Amino acid sequence: MQQDSTAHQAASTAGGRPARTVRPRHFLMCSPEHFDVVYSINPWMEPEKPTDTALAVAQWERLRSLYLGLGHKVELIDPVPGLPDMVFSANGATVVDGKVLAARFRHAQRVDEGPAYAAWFRERGYEVLDGTHINEGEGDYLVTGDRILAGTGFRTDRRSHAEAERFLGRPVVTLELVDPRFYHLDTALAVLDHEEIMYYPAAFTPGSRATLRELYPDAIVATEDDAAVFGLNAVSDGRHVLLPEQATHLIDALWSRGFVPIGVDLSELLKSGGSSKCCTLEIRDRVPGADS
């Protein structure tokens, strides 16, 4: 598969499409060794359906191995018994320039995840702010270029957007979600590189769709089929894009833009409404020598 990807990338570059550059990333992940679906807080969760924890771990391990193989740094937080959704580390915080806005979860079943992630960062010397209002980390905060796209409508309180803007020091653009299947922003939109995104328009209000068209006129627009398989719950390093292998339209669109899509199978974790991005919290450390 890697040889095919390299050949496809060479052809894309030769064909005049943009050459893409990997930017090494720093990720935090959490093993799904306690994963199960024992409650329902989104339309994907059906406790009556059986889950296979061993399969969830195997699928997650492949995702982690892919990151390591691509040259990214992956750290781990210890999973806590009784917190089956802690595997979705993206929800645990938002990290920009080494500053950590800790998550504050809406549903009681996930409340204890916030302090667990905050403690991990504090123990390593990060500046951490405990959110005043409900915010579910990178589930609803996506950093692109010099701004932060912020979701609301189902989980994150829009009042937290102003808090994030003040603390993280980046302008925040509010986007309102309307389809309960796409309850977090990272299920309906993915950041590809700087000012490039892909998204599913029907997940947003008309006003938010207009905002996205204005800010990102060249965005990749996902189909209903893409969105339904969580194709937008993707992780990009500027060149490679890891996303569900069933999102074939998005995969073709990414190739056409010079990206190298890598299909992954996280079908077991999808039973709880999560995929690649949900399992991946990006730690954006402060760059040495950057202006204060």
What positions carry a catalytic annotation? 184, 278
**Between vectors from CA 241 to CA 154 and to CA 136, what angle results, nearest 5°?**
25
Q: Which residue has the tokens 């595997």?
A: 87
- The strand ranges marked E within the chain are 26-29, 73-76, 93-96, 99-102, 127-130, 141-144, 147-152, 172-176, 189-193, 196-199, 220-221, 235-236, 240-244, 260-264, 281-282
Q: Which residue has the tokens 């912020």?
A: 150
Task: Give me the DSSP letters along 127-170.
Answer: EEEE-SS-B-GGGTEEEETTEEEEEESSSS-THHHHHHHHHH-S
Return d(Cα 290, Cα 97) in angstroms, integer. 9
Q: Which residue has the tokens 């996280």?
A: 266
Return d(Cα 110, Cα 82) in angstroms, integer. 10
